Structure 1
């Protein structure tokens, strides 16, 4: 079991109640020393609470997994999705780049293109500014400690003050019946403002997001013009997107291997 996968197993186990180091070692098949190292790292990221002899759930993490773990998931698939999304953007466009790891992959593809970009995380801003050519704007306000995102009321106001040719949007979850949802209220308000301020909205997401729901809804599939995902997306998504007239781009996940 890879370290990132093991740490996700630990988070899921601890979410249901306190777990001892020995219990987690037995669950993951690694030594107690490795578990202690994992718990120290996860506690620093705010994913679990260290207690004597084990770990306990935190009151609220705000997102399913820490940003560092999410960046290690499906990296090649996200890069494939990002390349297609970036191909829709032309020099001179005004572009909104959402927070999240998939949007970050798109930001990396757009470095130096010659666009005006509002980045909803410091990670995306740094990627967009990695090469000369782009005008990169950040909304200001407080920065999330884990994913370095902007999700407060000031960020929503900054989004409303601009108009975008295209918005690259992510979501914690995008179940066709529930709609587009995220883990925190503030993030939902910023994304809702992005939908209203953009001429063309592109949802870029791995296929697993379309079988999930989160607490705060910011839109529906009808608010999206283009969905870029992989061909193993749920049939319900394919049906509903096509029925709504949404441009659906299904990429072969094997191409990312």
Structure 2
């Protein structure tokens, strides 16, 4: 197949939802190097957007909700998810709390737990824990006002010097075959840095985030992890996570 026709076929595959490199390799019978080269070429022509581990259609993202909107949405479900996550934390644990309002809800349950060390890039967590006896380490870096979190090279450097027992992540969406999606590459990569340093990984998302590819930057989850969501999540979507074999799914009721 000529290069132009091959890339046109790959473009159609990506537009049809075939977004990760391994799936494209299997579908076209091509090497990973060839697939990545073609994806780079298509991205260079602004026909697709490159993501971690694959590609996405141009314009496939949704506008990012404001912080106030996120604070008010699904509040009861976030509290229930936070309570369930809190049950996984033990005396003496060092835990990482990611940016987001659900992880901020978890922080409130940790207030006064002097035996737990919290590491975070979430500025909302500071208000919940700074005046309590809970040991707290704030990761520095560039402040992202829309999520009230820190990220960037400085945050990545600090995380490379730390390890945690348990990491709790939020996300704009979580897809069984692709991982966690975020609005920026910096957010996605920071999660990847934490995942490498964590003994156990938990993803805390409300049902509306399950199976949702609302943004264009991805953090792959290629290890054992636990998904905690609310009972409104569609059974078919949750089954895709269970079938992976490396994901424990926990649902909570409000």
Using the size of structure 1 for normalisation, the TM-score is: 0.70
| 1:96-153 deviation per Cα after TM superposition (whole angstroms, max 9, x unaligned) | 0000111111111111112111111111122133422x11111112211232211211
Q: After the TM superposition, which segments of 4 or more aligned residues of structure 1 sit over 3 Å from their partners?
A: none
Q: Which moved more, 1:165-174 or 1:105-114?
A: 105-114
| 8 Å CA contact 1:202, 1:224 repeated in 2 | no
Q: Which residue of 1 aligns with 2:248?
A: 247
Q: Which moved more, 1:88-97 or 1:243-252?
A: 243-252
CA distance in 2, matches of 1:224, 1:215: 24
Aligned-CA RMSD value:
1.9
CA distance in 2, matches of 1:160, 1:126: 25
CA distance in 2, matches of 1:233, 1:109: 24
Structure 2 SS opposite 1:143: strand
Q: Which residue of 2 aligns with 1:211?
A: 211
**5 Å matches for 1:190-201?**
190-201=190-201
How far is 1:189 from its partner?
1.1
Q: Which residue of 1 aligns with 2:230?
A: 230
Structure 1 SS opposite 2:159: helix
| 1:175-215 deviation per Cα after TM superposition (whole angstroms, max 9, x unaligned) | 22332111101111110011110000011110110131121
From the superposition, tell whether residues 63 and 160 of structure 1 become closer, same or farther in structure 2 (CA, over 3 Å): farther
CA distance in 2, matches of 1:216, 1:63: 14
CA distance in 2, matches of 1:98, 1:116: 14
Q: Which residue of 2 aligns with 1:128?
A: 129
CA distance in 1, matches of 2:63, 2:130: 26
Q: Which residue of 1 aligns with 2:202?
A: 202
Using the size of structure 2 for normalisation, the TM-score is: 0.70
How far is 1:224 from its partner?
4.8
From the superposition, tell whether residues 227 and 194 of structure 1 become closer, same or farther in structure 2 (CA, over 3 Å): same
| 8 Å CA contact 2:140, 2:151 repeated in 1 | no
**5 Å matches for 1:32-51?**
none
**5 Å matches for 1:38-187?**
64-114=64-114, 115-132=116-133, 134-187=134-187
CA distance in 2, matches of 1:248, 1:162: 27
CA distance in 1, matches of 2:170, 2:73: 15
Which structure 1 segments of 5+ residues have no match? 1-60
Aligned residues, how many? Answer: 191
